[in-house]
Structures are given as structure tokens and as C-alpha cells.
Chain A
Amino acid sequence: MNIGVPRGLLYSKYHVFAETFLEEIGAKIVVSPATNKLILDEGVRYCVDDACLPMKVFHGHVSWLKDRCDAMLVPRFIGIKEKEYICPMFCGSIEMVSNNIPQLPCLIDTPICSTQNYKLSQWAKKTGSVLTKDENKIMAALDKALQRHGNSKTGFNDEGYPLKIGLIGHAYNIYDKFINMDLKKKLNGLGIGIITSEYINGADIADEAGKLFKKPFWTFAQEYYGAAVCIIKTKKADGIIYLSSFSCGIDSVVIELIKSETGDFPFMVLKLDEHTGEAGFDTRIEAFADMLKRRCGIGHNLS
């Protein structure tokens, strides 16, 4: 049985887990290709207009897969940590795709809540039952998937560049080279290395997020805020770029929280939307690079 896995939203974070699990229970996996113009166009066509860009891109991936698989994995993500949540759009993503895109194959949309082991097992049993009745096989697959997931490492921590910036933002913005116009390549080309939140100590992140007057509901908000503040305080990088998609509610809060801690630390927000014109994007990146170079006294003196 061919199971489609859309390369959108949390794919970059959890693909090792999902793919290992599906393979171990005997599925043949079809992953949609990296986002491209066709996928974006399809996504924009199907998705409601006021959704964020990553949600539109996700629609595009689902649409690409719909005629290429027998069933599709679109789990309903609820939470990763106890008493924390993720963006509410994820909760409704299944309704969005199933109502917006016609002629979809069977959707494997069992809710997934990885806050406790038994909840994860429930998810595995239900999802696995599509392919096998052998519960032992399913549990073994889950163990292997969790183990591989634990050993996998995402994120960037570039060395050997004269300057370094913390690149903060949702994984689906940072790792989608199409929608972020290959920001990493652009920054590297300007002599700037990148460090992402995965390379900041998790305990330090939690520590900083814990100092807020109220703990944010959202797991990712805590992670990005905490990582940004760690970078500012420890000077792990020369500046921070926050990559945000237009109309993201979580970002709108996190950005303001980070701004209250930046002081004199270079901080810039880059907004992503459907526009593919790179001029405005490049201007901001180049100006930010110039600013860092001058502030750090690198390169020729221009002024």
C-alpha cells in the first residue's frame, strides 16, 4: 500500500519518525517533492485565502500526492508537551484539506498527542491498523521510529564564517528553501553563518521561557523566544533574523516578546508571503549584513 506523506508543515521536524514507522509496518512511502512553483500554485488555488503561507503550501503538497497514493498521512497534531499546545491551525488542517481539495484518497488523520507514551501508542495502533493487525509489529515499529527520531538531528550550526546570526522561526519556514528563497544560501553568500534553535541548549531555552510573566501556551513560542533570548544573552551570534510568515498569530506574539529583550542587539524580522519577487527580501538581508559588518568592524570601512 502506497502511503503519501506531504512534505509540508511539521514534516521537517518529524519525517524520520513518520517514515520509519510507516516503513516498519510495511507501507511503501511516497513523499511529495520539495516545494516548487506548481505546489505553491496548487496550494494557493485550493486553500482559503486568509490562511498563512505554510498552510497553503501544505495544501499544495496534499494536492500533489492525491493521485499518487492509496492513503495519505495527515495526522491531527494536538500537542507535544504536557499542558502546551501548538498552532490551532494544525488542529483544523484535516478539515481544511478534506473540504478544499476534491478527490482525496483515504486520509490517515488519527489525532497525535505525544505528551504521554500511552497516547502515542494509541495513535500507533490506530494508524498501524490500516496496514497490519499485528500489534507487536506496530509497537516494534513505534519503538524503532522513536529511537531513530531521537537520533536524528535537524538544524544548522555553521562554522567558519566571519559573522553568525541566529535564524529563528517555524521549522516549515526555515527548512523550506522555496518559500524562504534559499535564505541560508543567501546569508552564507554574504559571509554569514547560521545557528538555529535546535543548537541551543534545551534547558537554557526552558529556563528563559520560564522567566516570562506567564508561560506561553504554545510549545514553539517557548522554543523560539527562549532560543532568541539565549542567543542575545550569551552572544552566541552577532544578530538574529526572525523568519515569519505573514499573518502568523504565534509569531506576532513571539516577535514582540523577543523585541522587549533585544536592547541594542541586532534583530530583524523577515516576512514571507506568496510574492516571489526577491528584491525587497534581498535589500533587507544585504542591509542587515552590512550593518553587522560595520558594527563588528569587519570588511572595509564604508562610511
Chain B
Amino acid sequence: MEKNYYLGVDVGSVSTNLVLMDEDYMVCEKLYLKTSGHPVETLKNGLMRMAGRFGSSVKIRATGATGSGRQLAGMLIDADVIKNEITAHAVAASSIEPNVRTIIEIGGQDSKIIFLKEGIVYDFAMNTVCAAGTGSFLDRQASRLDIPIEEFGRYALKAQNPVRIAGRCAVFAESDMIHKQQTGHCSEDIIAGLCEALVRNYLNNLAKGKNIEEPIMFQGGVAANVGIVAAFEKILNKKIIIPRYYDVMGAYGAAILAKEEIERSGKETCFFGFESINDNFDVKSIECKDCSNMCEVIKISSNGELKACWGDRCGKWGALPGKVSIRN
């Protein structure tokens, strides 16, 4: 018998992730791709690779999109559910560890902390406009020190004497690191100091006054950094669980949400198959000049036919005929 699968995509600032999940919530395939500033191409590329591996032998019963690019992704795959990252991460974590109380999620541009009680999100916090302590910053420091990002964390573990780095601001942290390096501290100690500074900054920004209870799950691309994990364990003095699919938990959550949505509504999926990725999607940004708001409107068309618009404040573009409603 043909098996049912669920597709979850998470289009983030740095990575675009895809997960193919089966009826039993098992991850059958996961892809972690760098968005590299081209969400549409990256997503297409990901779908193409999924199609190459599974082709038409799988039946996709539902799809879900999340991440900061969820509207765009949701449009491209005609997702059955489009959800924010907080809900997606919480759903994914509690399906792996139903008792999870705290989720630490650090991605490319965002960092979040989510508190759960009996499987329900009861509080969360997200970093404000500042990106200090997120994956992008670590990426940048790794390349500045000429160390592959995959190795970065391991350097921290080799430190004898972590130095103190100001972690409040990415710009200051960088100049602080340069000062330390110029006075002769070794890379290992500086990197370990940076990891601790970022964790301190994260906890001060997001978890001030909050009770971080176990089990604690650490998700997002930065969870791969053993230096950061060690710094969290050291500062919190608690055990950190890294789920097996830590880097694609958002996409996994989107797949679970898609399954629940389709089971609840009893509808057929809107997904039109991996073949649709061959469609010629065109994303254009225009500045609407009809009023003084001058909204930056995004127009998405497929094979020359306008499929969706957003970004307008008045709703005129969003309500164009033929437009698929994608806002929640």
C-alpha cells in the first residue's frame, strides 16, 4: 500500500530546512540547506532533491511551512498550514520529549526561549532587533578566525582559561575579541570566552527572572556548537538535551502541524506535487505609488500568472482576484 507522508519546510534567514515525515511521526528524510539570500531557489533546490530521492512513489498528504520566510514558502508549495516558528518548535520538541519544560532555540538571526507546561507553551521570549549571540554572528567570527564553523565549538572545549568577552553587543564583542587576540591570548581561550559571553547575553536578554526548568532542549543550528552547549551546561548547571534532528526541528514541527491540520479539517492537501517546482516562479517587489504609504509590495507569479501579493497596508493588492489567501 502507498504510504502517506507529510512535508514540513522551514525557511529561515540562514538555512532552509525540509523534513519528510511518515504517519508515525518518524523523520524519513531531512535536508539542511543554506538559504544564501535566495529563499525561492533554495527551496526549489530542496524540493528537487526530495523529488529525486522519492519521486512520485510517495504520497504527500499534507504540507506545512514555518520560519521567517513562511509566507513565501507557503505560497510556493501551497502549504496546508503556515505557522510561526515558536509554535512549530514547541510542537516538535514536545512530540520527541512530551515532558519538555524549556526550549532554547538559536537560529541564524533569531534566538528564542520557550517555556512549556504539560505540552502547552505558556511563555516565550524572542531577541529584539539585535542579532548578537545568534548563528550569523558565530559564522562571522569563525570565518574571521579562519576556523570552519563545524570546528568552532571544539576549539572552545580545548580552552584552559576562557577569557572574558563583552557579549552584550556583536560589534563590541568583536572588538573585544580582537583586543584579546592582540594581547596574545590563544584562539581556544577566546572562543570559549565568546561562547560563555553569548550564553550570558542570551540568558540576560531572554530568560531574565524566568525559571529554567528541566528537561531543557536545545534546538536550531547553533546547537551543533559544542562550545555553546558546554557554556549553557556550565552556567545553568543543568543538563541540555540536543534532539537528533536539532537542526530541522522547525520543519519537523511544520510537518506535524500539517498532519494535525489535515486530520482536523478532513480536507485534501493543496500540495500539487514535486513537479510543480518546475513552474517558473517569479517574485517581484514593487513600490505601490497609489497613496502616501508607498508600501513595498511583493508580487508572486507562476508561469506568468499572478498568484499572490503581500506587503500592502490597505489590503488592495492582497485582495486581488485569484490570490490565494495565505495569512493564517
Residues of chain A having any CB pair with chain B under 8 Å: 33, 36-39, 177-178, 181-182, 189-190, 246, 259, 264, 266, 271, 273, 275-276, 278-280, 282-284, 286-287, 290-291, 294-295, 300-303
On chain A, the residues within 8 Å of B90 by CB distance are: 303
Q: A287-B124, A290-B87, A303-B95 are in contact. List 5 more A-B contacts (CB 8 A).
A: A37-B294, A178-B313, A189-B327, A273-B129, A282-B84
- Flag if A279 contacts B68 (CB, 8 Å): yes
On chain A, the residues within 8 Å of B261 by CB distance are: 300
Task: Tell me the nearest residue of chain A to B66, going by C-beta.
Answer: A283
> In the bound complex, how far is the Cα of B83 from the Cα of A190, in angstroms?
12
B11 CB to nearest A CB, Å: 11
On chain A, the residues within 8 Å of B124 by CB distance are: 287, 291
- Flag if A291 contacts B293 (CB, 8 Å): no
> In the bound complex, how far is the Cα of B264 from the Cα of A295, in angstroms?
19
- Flag if A295 contacts B120 (CB, 8 Å): yes
> In the bound complex, how far is the Cα of B119 from the Cα of A246, in angstroms?
33
Number of residue pairs spanning A and B whose beta carbons lie under 8 angstroms apart: 86
On chain A, the residues within 8 Å of B264 by CB distance are: 300
Asked, given contacts A36-B291, A38-B292, whether A283 binds B85 with beta carbons under 8 Å apart, the answer is yes
Q: Mark B238-265, 1 if CB is under 8 A from A, else 0.
A: 0000000000000000000100110010
- Flag if B119 contacts A303 (CB, 8 Å): yes
In the complex, whether B16 has a CB less than 8 A from a CB of chain A is no
Asked, given contacts A283-B86, A295-B122, A303-B119, whether A246 binds B129 with beta carbons under 8 Å apart, the answer is yes
Task: Tell me the nearest residue of chain B to A259, going by C-beta.
Answer: B209
- Flag if A283 contacts B126 (CB, 8 Å): yes
> In the bound complex, how far is the Cα of B288 from the Cα of A301, in angstroms?
40
Residues of chain B having any CB pair with chain A under 8 Å: 68-69, 83-87, 90-91, 94-95, 110, 119-124, 126, 128-129, 209, 257, 260-261, 264, 291-296, 311, 313, 327-328
- Flag if A182 contacts B294 (CB, 8 Å): no
B168 CB to nearest A CB, Å: 15
Which 10 residue pairs of A and B lie closest in terms of their CB atoms, listed nearest first?
A: A287-B86, A36-B292, A286-B84, A37-B294, A290-B87, A291-B121, A287-B84, A283-B84, A294-B120, A303-B119
> In the bound complex, how far is the Cα of B84 from the Cα of A283, in angstroms?
5
> In the bound complex, how far is the Cα of B128 from the Cα of A280, in angstroms?
9
Asked, given contacts A36-B291, A36-B294, A279-B68, whether A303 binds B91 with beta carbons under 8 Å apart, the answer is yes
- Flag if B296 contacts A276 (CB, 8 Å): yes
- Flag if A38 contacts B294 (CB, 8 Å): yes
Taking a contact as CB atoms closer than 8 A, the residue among A189, A275, A302 that contacts B91 in the complex is A302
> In the bound complex, how far is the Cα of B120 from the Cα of A290, in angstroms?
10
B248 CB to nearest A CB, Å: 18
On chain A, the residues within 8 Å of B291 by CB distance are: 36
- Flag if B91 contacts A291 (CB, 8 Å): no
On chain A, the residues within 8 Å of B292 by CB distance are: 33, 36-39
On chain A, the residues within 8 Å of B91 by CB distance are: 302-303
On chain A, the residues within 8 Å of B120 by CB distance are: 291, 294-295, 303
Asked, given contacts A36-B291, A38-B294, A295-B122, whether A286 binds B83 with beta carbons under 8 Å apart, the answer is yes
Taking a contact as CB atoms closer than 8 A, the residue among B95, B110, B328 that contacts A190 in the complex is B328
> In the bound complex, how far is the Cα of B310 from the Cα of A181, in angstroms?
13
On chain B, the residues within 8 Å of A283 by CB distance are: 68, 84-86, 126
- Flag if B128 contacts A271 (CB, 8 Å): yes
> In the bound complex, how far is the Cα of B86 from the Cα of A287, in angstroms?
6
Task: Tell me the nearest residue of chain A to B82, going by C-beta.
Answer: A286
